[in-house]
């Protein structure tokens, strides 16, 4: 399940005001137990899946047939009796994770290939089959959902590439100390976010300046500008940490008035 086991714990430990309900991941996030666990905890897992030919669609029962997509399901059927028998166990597991009594990482690690006789594993896997089948059908029938999954995943990958560019000394962490590794990752991401924020402020100032002068600012053009710019960053220059707030208020809002947005000259 690779990094998929860490997806849920990171959201459950979130103490910010932003409360995400959707989880995006790469192919490694498409594990059946993770789908089941995410559903129990109230999260919508939407991974980008590359190996579709390896995945199965499951019917709700053997008698169910579909007019146009029946070939997708073959003879795969959900074991509803298994879910009904262990539904209470699944709910208890979900509550234990929500209340912090059990880590989802610990649970999903234990429910690996060596736990196939475990009743919780079997029930969670069966629930995962239900949720993943629904997700795959949504993916096939909703173009906007496909666009969303691709966009979010690409954005995340671009951030990782940007952070890797700023990882002075290469992406290999030289020490095997977990605390040291955590500090390196956190400092690298903090530095990356600071650089992205600074670039976003520069883009905001430039767009506001053009609009104020009466030049047209097309939002579609503006949407193509990325804050992950590396050519203006001196990776090996002087890095000065200044914790004092700036004297002047920063412009963090695009002030593109409708009458200015597509104007050719100042009125």
Q: Which of 199, 202, 208, 206 is nearest to 261 (CA)?
A: 208
Give the pLDDT score at 115.
56
Taking every pair of C-alpha atoms in the chain, what is the biggest distance, in angstroms? 75
Residues 31-70 as b/e (b if ≥16 CB within 10 A, e otherwise) read bbbbbbbbbbbebebbbbbeeeeeeebbbeeeeeeeeeee
Give the pLDDT score at 173.
76
Q: For the chain, where are the alpha helices, taking DSSP H only?
A: 7-12, 32-40, 80-98, 104-110, 119-141, 143-165, 178-212, 219-223, 258-261
- Inter-residue contact 34 to 7 (CB < 8 Å): yes
Q: Rounded to whole angstroms, how far apart are CA atoms 85 and 78? A: 13
Give the pLDDT score at 9.
76
Give the pLDDT score at 261.
43
230, two tokens: 């590396």
| DSSP notation for 27-42 | GGG--HHHHHHHHHTT
Domain extent listing, the chain = 2-141, 173-261
Give the pLDDT score at 267.
38
Supply the angle between the helices 119-141 and 80-98 in degrees, to the nearest 10. Answer: 100
Each of the 267 residues of the chain gets a pLDDT tens digit; together they read 456 667 777 778 778 888 888 888 887 777 888 899 889 988 999 988 887 778 899 999 999 999 999 999 989 999 999 999 999 999 998 888 888 787 777 777 666 555 555 888 889 999 999 999 999 999 999 999 999 999 998 888 899 999 998 887 776 777 788 888 888 888 899 989 999 998 999 998 888 888 888 888 888 888 888 899 888 888 777 777 788 887 877 778 887 755 444 444 443
Give the pLDDT score at 4.
64
Give the pLDDT score at 105.
73
């Amino acid at each position: 399940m690779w990094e998929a086991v860490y997806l849920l714990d990171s959201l459950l430990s979130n103490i910010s005001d932003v409360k995400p309900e959707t989880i995006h991941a790469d192919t490694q996030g498409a594990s059946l137990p993770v789908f089941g666990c995410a559903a129990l905890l109230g999260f919508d897992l939407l991974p980008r899946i590359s190996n579709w030919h390896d995945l199965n669609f499951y019917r709700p029962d053997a008698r169910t047939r579909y007019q146009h997509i029946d070939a997708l399901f073959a003879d795969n059927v959900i074991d509803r009796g298994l879910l009904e028998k262990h539904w209470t166990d699944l709910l208890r597991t979900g509550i234990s994770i929500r209340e912090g009594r059990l880590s989802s990482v610990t649970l999903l690690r234990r429910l690996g290939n060596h736990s196939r006789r475990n009743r919780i594993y079997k029930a969670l896997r069966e629930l995962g089959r239900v949720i993943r089948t629904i997700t795959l059908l949504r993916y096939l029938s909703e173009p906007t959902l496909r666009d969303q999954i691709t966009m979010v995943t690409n954005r995340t990958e671009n951030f990782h590439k940007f952070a890797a560019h700023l990882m002075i000394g290469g992406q290999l962490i030289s020490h095997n100390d977990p605390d040291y590794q955590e500090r390196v990752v956190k400092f690298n991401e903090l530095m990356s976010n600071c650089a992205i924020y600074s670039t976003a402020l520069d883009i905001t100032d430039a767009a506001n300046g053009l609009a104020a002068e009466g030049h047209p600012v097309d939002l579609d053009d503006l949407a193509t500008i990325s804050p992950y710019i590396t050519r203006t960053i001196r990776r090996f220059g002087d890095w000065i940490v200044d914790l004092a707030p700036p004297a002047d208020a920063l412009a963090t809002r695009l002030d593109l008035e409708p009458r200015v947005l597509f104007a050719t000259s100042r009125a």
